[in-house]
């Protein structure tokens, strides 16, 4: 078990290092010059060159990468080209808003996905099952921003129940969380439904029936528990999807957060801020997947047995 934890941790470190390198190379190979953008098109070549020296973009790419890597190892993500504010401080101010949106949306997705999956199996073959499947296909066939626009039109413009934009209080959070949570619940609902339908035909269900257990107890205790356990592996995907879609949702609902800050930084060619935002999202995604992988190993005895066999 300890060996598996160490192996997964080392793999995660390798993935994070690869993400750091890839982010740096991609952003520095993109066309455009931050010094020219900041100084303005009418600035003199001397002014632009002086600004490049000040920003450090006049040095060779290898030197910039070495400096960036050393800074990351020391918790320094650089300084914003535009505001001259430390990137860590700027992103730390936006992180709570993004975390609130992300984890609230994931909670909605888990509750809604499991509930709809159970209802779909309970009424399989009936009109409710067909309605849930059709609605799930309809929701997941559209981008998250399109679903958000429909939510705005219905609950804000037509009904006037909820505000569209804002960060303070609970009401401005309902629409973005609901939009992202509903969109993320679809794959979870399908996984729960398929897992329960498959579980109903497992040999252990026949054994439980032979022992005299009622159908309701078998369905809600044993089959549902096994189906929900298998969905733990999807939690990492949900967090990754919510982090990537936070860029869209925060921009659509004019919410402060790392996603919206990233969009603004891209438009300003503020490379350190973009690097820092993507790096934080990448590290969060890797750590969540590491936690999910280790948790699944602890929860599912079959995985532990496979790990023990692999060490022999």
pLDDT at 155: 86
- Answer yes or no: is 107 within a domain: yes
Q: How much is the mean pLDDT over the chain?
A: 79
Question: Is residue 104 assigned to a domain?
Answer: yes
In-domain check, residue 29: no
Model pLDDT, residue 96: 87
pLDDT digits (tens, 9 = 90+) for 226-264: 777 767 777 777 777 787 788 888 888 888 888 888 888
Q: Answer whether residue 272 is part of any domain.
A: yes
Whether 259 is covered by a domain: the verdict is: yes
| 114 in a structural domain | yes
Give me the mean pLDDT over the 196-205 stretch. Answer: 77
* Domain limits for position 181: 90-286
* pLDDT of 163: 77
Q: Does some domain include residue 1? A: no
Q: What is the CATH number of the domain that holds 134?
A: 1.10.3720.10
Per-residue HEC secondary structure of the chain comes to CHHHHHHHHHHHHHHHHHHHHHHHHHHHHCCCCHHHHHHCCCCCHHHHHHHHHHHCCCCCHHHHHHHHHHHHHCCCCCECCCCCCEHHHHHHHHHHHHHHHHHHHHHHHHHHHHHHHHHHHHCCCCHHHHHHHHHHHHHHCCCHHHHHHHHHHHHHHHCCCCCCCCCCCCHHHHHHHHHHHHHHHHHHHHHHHHHHHHHCCCHHHHHHHHCCCCHHHHHHHHHHHHHHHHHHHHHHHHHHHHHHHHHHHHHHCCCCCHHHHHHHHHHCCCHHHHHHHHHHHHHHHHHHHHHHHHHHHHHCHHHHHHHHHHHC
Higher pLDDT, 28 or 147: 147
What is the band of 308 on the pLDDT scale with cuts at 50, 70, 90?
very low
pLDDT at residue 181 greater than cutoff 60: yes
- Convert the pLDDT of each residue in 111-130 to its tens digit: 898 888 888 888 888 888 88
Number of domains in the chain: 1
């Amino acid at each position: 078990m300890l060996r598996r934890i160490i192996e997964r941790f080392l793999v995660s470190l390798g993935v994070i290092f690869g993400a750091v390198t890839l982010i740096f190379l991609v952003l520095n190979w993109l066309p455009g010059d931050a010094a020219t953008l900041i100084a303005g098109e009418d600035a003199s070549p001397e002014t632009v060159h002086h600004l490049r020296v000040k920003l450090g973009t006049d040095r060779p790419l290898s030197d910039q990468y070495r400096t960036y890597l050393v800074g990351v190892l020391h918790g320094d993500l650089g300084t914003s080209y535009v505001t001259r504010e430390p990137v860590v401080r700027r992103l730390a101010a936006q992180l709570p808003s993004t975390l609130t949106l992300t984890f609230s949306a994931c909670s909605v997705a888990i509750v809604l996905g499991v509930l709809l999956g159970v209802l779909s199996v309970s009424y399989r073959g009936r009109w409710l099952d067909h309605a849930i499947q059709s609605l799930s296909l309809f929701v997941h066939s559209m981008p998250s921003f399109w679903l958000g626009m429909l939510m705005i039109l219905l609950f804000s413009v037509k009904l006037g129940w909820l505000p569209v934009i804002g960060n303070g209080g609970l009401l401005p959070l309902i629409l973005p969380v609901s939009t992202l949570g509903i969109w993320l619940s679809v794959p979870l609902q399908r996984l729960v439904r398929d897992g329960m339908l498959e579980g109903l035909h497992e040999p252990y269900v026949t054994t439980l029936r032979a022992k005299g257990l009622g159908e309701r107890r078998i369905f809600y205790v044993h089959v549902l528990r096994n189906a929900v356990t298998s969905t733990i592996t999807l939690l990492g995907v949900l967090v990754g999807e919510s982090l990537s879609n936070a860029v869209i949702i925060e921009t659509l609902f004019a919410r402060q957060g790392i996603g919206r800050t990233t969009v603004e930084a891209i438009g300003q060619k503020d490379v350190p801020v973009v690097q820092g935002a993507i790096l934080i999202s990448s590290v969060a995604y890797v750590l969540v997947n590491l936690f999910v992988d280790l948790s699944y190993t602890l929860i599912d005895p079959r995985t532990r047995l496979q790990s023990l066999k692999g060490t022999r």
